[in-house]
């Protein structure tokens, strides 16, 4: 569970008030409800998404925030952490191949574009998100290693998509790992996120079936007095050293370049997502004293500052020693081991969700982290970091990796394109 995790930016892109072409936005509908009330009797039951009056009540800031579907990169990578997330993998149905996959990605892209704009589905909308705005909804699509043999596109499979090596901390459930196709959904409203999940599942139709699905959450925007690094279920600030878009080498580390890369051309401006379900052994963790927890991580629990002193953003002094000669930041502290300068510059962009899937019969919580990290090359990003952690991270005895996946996530779709079009029609 490498330390580099932080919402990349706290800024949100606000939605416009104008309804998009081809439909009236959920924002407009909320304005109708706020100004006049919705007629839900016999006369109004069949109206559906009605136009807003001239004087509409605007959405709150959380509801109005909007991410863009079309762009150089897919959404859901550099946006800030979202309050609710769903990760879902699909396998193509028996007999489905390249043609069916192309039709599916076309449907999925059209649906994602509409929902991210705050519009309903074109037909059979469930009305789950009827009263909400876009709420920073993002939908991201990726391809697993097995997708290419299923579609006869083996020659287009990137070498970076080779299976991840085994790690000593792995206790993987293969039924909840990998998959032909992967979809990441995030939003700042739980109903908006579920609405998108249900729409994506319905769009799959007979072309693909769900292989596994996981639900996650983060702190809701506005819950703290000021923007700050998120906390995980261990109570630690989780994300202090995440690379930032303002870093001079951010693009090189996170995204496949448009030229000069060994990756196939269809991956230009794309990225690779490593997905891990990491269970936190919270009963064991919570038995530790505060000082012991801080020594495991190498940072203060209260404010994320390194044990060597300063604030959260102060560079860690790895050479600082106590009077007894021991390092202030222990040699096996998680934050020490994951520093890029201790790993040949290896860096990942972490964008995780916490999860809680209930309580086992013995009272043990099934909870932890849906770890999602992004990099231009997993063999230079996640793999060297995880190997280093495997060899002596103090945190390893308090976590367990239970599921894993690696997915090639192509660049964003241009206007008029669907995600993956350059692969499937190239």
Phi then psi for residue 227, to 5 deg, are -60, 135
Phi then psi for residue 234, to 5 deg, are -85, -5
Is 238 one of the annotated active-site residues of the chain? yes
Task: Assess contact for 420 and 105: CB atoms under 8 A.
Answer: yes
Structure tokens at 84: 């609710």
Distance separating alpha carbons of residues 411 and 417, to the nearest angstrom: 11
Task: Assess contact for 194 and 231: CB atoms under 8 A.
Answer: no
Task: Assess contact for 120 and 130: CB atoms under 8 A.
Answer: yes
Structure tokens at 337: 């081991």
Distance separating alpha carbons of residues 104 and 92, to the nearest angstrom: 10
Distance separating alpha carbons of residues 420 and 426, to the nearest angstrom: 10
Task: Assess contact for 306 and 336: CB atoms under 8 A.
Answer: no
Choose the catalytic residue: 65, 203, 238, 377: 238
- Among residues 303, 306, 302, the alpha carbon closest in space to that of 314 is found at 306
Residues identified as active-site: 238
């Amino acid at each position: 569970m490498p330390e580099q995790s932080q919402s990349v930016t706290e800024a949100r892109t606000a939605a416009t008030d104008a309804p998009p072409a081809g439909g009236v936005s959920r924002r407009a509908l909320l304005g109708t409800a706020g100004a006049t009330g919705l007629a839900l009797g016999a006369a109004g039951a069949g109206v559906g998404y009605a136009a807003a009056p001239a004087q509409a009540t605007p959405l709150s800031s959380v509801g109005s925030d909007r991410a863009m579907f079309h762009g150089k990169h897919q959404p859901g990578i550099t946006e800030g952490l979202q309050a609710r997330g769903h990760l879902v993998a699909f396998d193509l149905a028996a007999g489905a191949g390249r043609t069916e996959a192309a039709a599916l990605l076309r449907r999925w892209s059209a649906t994602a574009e509409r929902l991210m704009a705050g519009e309903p589905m074109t037909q059979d909308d469930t009305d789950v998100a009827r009263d909400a705005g876009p709420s920073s909804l993002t939908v991201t699509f990726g391809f697993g290693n097995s997708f290419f043999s299923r579609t006869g596109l083996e020659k287009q499979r990137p070498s970076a998509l080779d299976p991840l090596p085994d790690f000593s901390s792995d206790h993987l459930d293969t039924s909840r790992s990998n998959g032909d196709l992967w979809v990441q959904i995030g939003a700042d409203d739980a109903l908006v996120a579920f609405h998108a999940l249900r729409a994506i599942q319905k769009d799959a139709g007979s072309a693909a079936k769900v292989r596994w699905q996981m639900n996650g959450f983060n702190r809701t925007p506005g819950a703290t007095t000021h923007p700050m690094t998120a906390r995980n279920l261990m109570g630690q600030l989780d994300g202090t050293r995440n690379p930032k878009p303002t870093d001079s080498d951010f693009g090189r580390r996170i995204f496949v370049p448009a030229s000069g890369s060994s990756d196939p051309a269809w991956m230009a401006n794309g990225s690779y997502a490593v997905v891990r379900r990491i269970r936190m052994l919270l009963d064991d963790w919570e038995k530790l004293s505060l000082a012991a927890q801080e020594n495991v991580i190498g940072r203060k629990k209260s404010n994320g500052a390194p044990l060597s002193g300063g604030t959260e953003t102060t560079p860690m002094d790895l050479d600082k020693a106590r009077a007894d000669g021991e390092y202030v930041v222990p040699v096996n502290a998680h934050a020490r081991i994951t520093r890029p300068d201790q790993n040949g510059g290896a860096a990942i962009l972490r964008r995780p969700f916490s999860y809680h899937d209930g309580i086992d019969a013995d009272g043990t919580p099934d909870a932890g982290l849906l770890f999602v990290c992004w990099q231009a090359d997993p063999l230079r990003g996640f793999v060297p970091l995880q190997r280093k952690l495997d060899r002596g991270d103090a945190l390893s005895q308090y976590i367990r990796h239970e599921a894993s996946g690696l997915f090639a996530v192509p660049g964003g779709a241009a206007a008029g394109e669907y995600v993956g079009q350059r692969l499937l029609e190239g």
